[in-house]
Amino acid sequence: MAKIAINIATGSLQQAEMIVGIDLGTTNSLVAIVHPETKQPICLKEHNANSIVPSIIYFDENNNVIVGEEAHKYLETNPANTIFSAKRLMGKSYNDIKNNASFFSYKVIDDSTESLVKVQVNNKFYSPIDLSSFILKELKNRAEHILKTPVTKAVITVPAYFNDAQRQATRDAGKLAGLDVLRIVNEPTAASLAYGLGTNTTDEKIIAVYDLGGGTFDISILKITNGIFEVLSTNGDTYLGGDDFDKAIVDYWIEENKIDSTTLTTNKSLVQSLRLKAEEAKKYLSSSNEFFSRLNELTLFIKKDKFENLIQPLINKTIDCCKLAVKDAGIDLQEIDTIVMVGGSTRIPSVKTAVSNYFNKEVFDSINPDEVVALGAAIQADILAGNNKNFLLLDITPLSLGLETMGGLMDVLIPRNSKIPSKVSRQYTTQKDAQGSMRISVFQGERDLVKDNRKLAEFNLTGIPGMPAGMPKVEVSFLINADGILTVSAKELRSGVEQSIEVKPQYGITDSDVEKMLLESITHAKDDIATRALVEARTEGEQILSVTEKFLQKNTTLVSQDEMIETAQAMQALQLALTMEDKNLIHTKIEALNEITRPFAERAMDAAVSGALSGKSIL
C-alpha cells in the first residue's frame, strides 16, 4: 500500500510549546500569548508597564539600538537617528515611496531604482527588514524576560493588502530577530479571531474590520465559511490616521495662539512639543469634554465638539473607503454581519458613531483596540502549538485535494471545506494496453488544471499485471485523520497489487497561500471551465481515434476501400482539430467520425454473432 503522510493543515507542531503572537504595527507593536493555565490570550507587559511598544528605533552615535518608549523622545532631539514607521518601507523601492519622501525625517537613500530601499543612520545602512528585526528582537527579549523561557517561534500579523514581497520581508525580519515565523496572519483575521469569530465552523459570516491606527487606515471585508477566512476586499489610506488628528489640533492651537510661521520654522522643538500635547489632548477627549493645558506662555485649550468638527472630514474619508470596499466585495451593505473595531484611534467616540451609522449596526469594540490584533495572533499561535486541537483550521480542509487525471485535469477527491477526519475512495483504470504502472500525483488547490495547483506528492503504483486498457481497477483512497494528516493509498483490485512508498511529510501552507489560491480560483473560474471543456473534448477525441485505429487493424475485411479512405480523412480532420483550441470543432469532428464508423460496429457485431452461431469463439 503506497502511503503519503502530508500535514496539509499547517505543518503543525504537536508538542506543547510557547509560541508568541506579534502585532508588528506601523506605530505600535505588541507581543501576546495564550496563558497556559487560564487559556485566555493576554498581551505581555512588565509589572506596571504598558503592553504597547512604540515601533521606534533610535541609534546612538555608536550605532547602539534602543527600541520603544525610550526611543520616543529622540524623535524630537535627534530625528536623523530615530526611525519610525519602518513598516511603510517593507518590500518597497525608493520609487514606491518617493512621493512621500518628506514624511520620513530620517535619511531614506534615493538610488532612483527599483531595488529595495535602505535607510542611512550615522555611517551605516539598514534595510527595512533590519529595522523591523530590531523591533521584533525587542519584543522577543521582553517576552523571554517576562515568561522566563526562550521564545523562538512566532506568528506575526501583516495588513491584508501586503503582497508576497512584503510578507516575505516580514518573515525575514523575524528570522533575523531569531524567530521562526510559523505563520503570517492578516491583521483583520487576527482581530476577528480575538472576538471568537470563525471559531464556530458551521457559521457563515461577513465581517468588516475597520482599523484606524496611528498613520494608516485599513478597511477589510472578510468572509468566514466553515472557519476559513477569505478576504473579499480591502481598501484604505496609507497616510491617514491618529497622527493627522494630532496635526489638526496643532494647527488649531497655532491659529488660536496666533503663532507666526517664522517662529514655527525656527523653533522646531515647539512644533514637536505641540504635537505631544495634541496627542495627549486627543486621547483625553475620547473620554472627556474639554482639554486644557499650558506650554510656556501658550494656552492650549480645545473642546470635544471643536475636535470632532476638525476631524470630521478625515472620518468621512474613511467612510468613503468603506463604501468602496463594500462595492469591491460585491456584497450589499446589509449582508455584513459584524463590524470589528481595531486600532487606537477607534477609541474616539465620533469615529465609532460614524462607522456604526454607516454600517447601520452596533460595532464590536469590547476588546482593547490596541491589543486586539496581538491577542488574535496569540490565539493563532496557540492553535499551531497544538494546544487547541479541535480548533477551526484543523477541522476542515482549507483547499481541495485531488489527483491528476488525463490531460492534466484535477480530479477532486476531497473538496475544500470538507470536515475531517474524512475518507474518500475512487476507482481509476489504465489508458494503454498492458500498462504495468500508474502514476499517482496528488495536488491541492481549486483550479481545474493541476499545473495551476500545488503538488503535494507523487508515486508510482507498479506491478499491475498486463491487461487491456480499461481493465485494471485501481482504487485510490484519500484519508485525512483528525490531525490533518493525509494518507494516500493505491491498490489494483483485480490483482491485489499495492505499494508501500513513504513520502516525506511536506510542510503546510500559510493563510495567505490559501487566500491566494482561493482568489485565483475565483478570478480564473471562467477560463478554467473553458479549459476543462477543451481538455475533456481532446481526451475524448484521442480515445476515439485510438479505438477506431484498433478496430480497423483487426477488422480490415469488414470495411470497403472507399470507407477506409473516408474514415482516414475523418480521422485526419479530428487529429487536426485536436491541435486547435476549439472544443466545438473537436466535437463536430468526433461526431463526423462516429457517423462514418457507426455501421462498422454493427457489422462487427453481426460477424461476431454469425461466428458464434458457426461455433467459433468470439474472442
Q: Which residues bind Mg ion (CB under 5 A)?
A: 25, 213
Select the span of 14-22, 238-246, 412-420, 556-564 touching ligand ADP (CB under 6 A): 238-246
- Render the burial of 363-374: b for 16+ CB within 10 Å, e for the rest: bbbebbbbbbbb
Q: Which of 9, 13, 12, 30 is nearest to 21 (CA)?
A: 30
286 contacts ligand ADP (rule: CB under 6 A): yes
Query: Cβ closer to ligand ADP: 213 or 398?
Result: 213
- For 77, the grid coordinates are 532631539
Cβ proximity to ligand ADP, 26 vs 453, nearer residue: 26
Q: Which amino acid, residue 285?
A: L
Which of 507, 487, 426, 505 is CA-nearest to residue 2? 487
Contacts of 517 (CB under 8 A, 6+ apart): 399, 445, 446, 447, 453, 454
Strand 438-444 to 422-428 pairing: unpaired
What is the grid cell recorded at 358?
Answer: 454607516
Q: Is 606 a catalytic residue?
A: no
**Listed residue (409, 400, 411, 508) closest to 446, CA to CA:** 400
We find the least distance from the C-beta atom of residue 446 to ligand ADP, in angstroms, to be 32
Number of residues that bind ligand ADP (CB under 6 A): 21
Q: Is 280 in the site for ligand ADP (CB under 6 A)?
A: no
Q: How buried is 436 (Cβ within 10 angstroms: 0-12 exposed, 13-18 middle, 19+ buried)?
A: middle
Pick 25 or 445: Cβ nearer Mg ion:
25
b/e code 139-156 from CB counts within 10 Å (16+ = b): bbebbbebeeeebebbbb
Judged by CB under 6 A, the residue of 68, 159, 188, 343 near ligand ADP is 343
186, 216, 441, 521: which one binds ligand ADP (CB under 6 A): 216
Judged by CB under 6 A, the residue of 21, 25, 472, 541 near ligand ADP is 25
What is the nearest approach in angstroms of Mg ion to the Cβ of residue 284? 22
Asked if 41 is part of the footprint of ligand ADP (rule: CB under 6 A), the reply reads no
Q: Is 198 in the site for ligand ADP (CB under 6 A)?
A: no
**Minimum CB separation from ligand ADP for residue 285, in Å?**
7
Q: How far apart are CA 126 and CA 241, in angstroms?
A: 26
- Which 3 state secondary structure label does DSSP give 221? strand
- 187 as an active site residue: the answer is yes
- Contact between 282 and ligand ADP per CB under 6 A: yes
Whole-number Å distance between alpha carbons of 593 and 203? 52
Given 130, 172, 187, 446, the catalytic residue: 187
Is 337 tagged catalytic?
no
* 23 catalytic per annotation: yes
- Which member of 130, 138, 211, 371 is catalytic? 211
The answer to the question of residue 345 lying near ligand ADP (CB under 6 A) is yes
Q: Is 348 in the site for ligand ADP (CB under 6 A)?
A: yes
387 binds ligand ADP (CB under 6 A): no
- Whole-angstrom distance, CA of residue 477 vs CA of residue 497: 14
Q: Which is nearer to Mg ion, 163 or 299 (CB)?
A: 163
User: Cell numbers of 435, please?
Assistant: 500498462
Task: State which of positions 424-463 bind ligand ADP (CB under 6 A).
Answer: none
What does 120-160 look like in DSSP terms, one character per residue? EETTEEE-HHHHHHHHHHHHHHHHHHHHTS---EEEEEE-T
Closest CA to 594 of 577, 561, 571: 571
Check binding of 21 to ligand ADP (CB under 6 A): no
Query: Which CB sits closer to ligand ADP, 203 or 290?
Result: 290
128: partner contacted, choices Mg ion, ligand ADP, none (Cβ within 5-8 A by kind): none
Of 159, 213, 227, 484, the one binding ligand ADP (CB under 6 A) is 213
Neighbours of 330 (CB within 10 A): 10
The answer to whether residue 283 forms part of the interface with ligand ADP (CB under 6 A) is yes
CB of 27 to Mg ion, least distance (A): 7
Determine if 186 is a binding residue for ligand ADP (CB under 6 A): no
Among 130, 138, 370, 446, binds ligand ADP (CB under 6 A): 370
Catalytic residue ranges:
23, 87, 187, 211
| Residues forming the site for ligand ADP (CB under 6 A) | 25-28, 213-216, 241-243, 279, 282-283, 286, 343-345, 347-348, 370
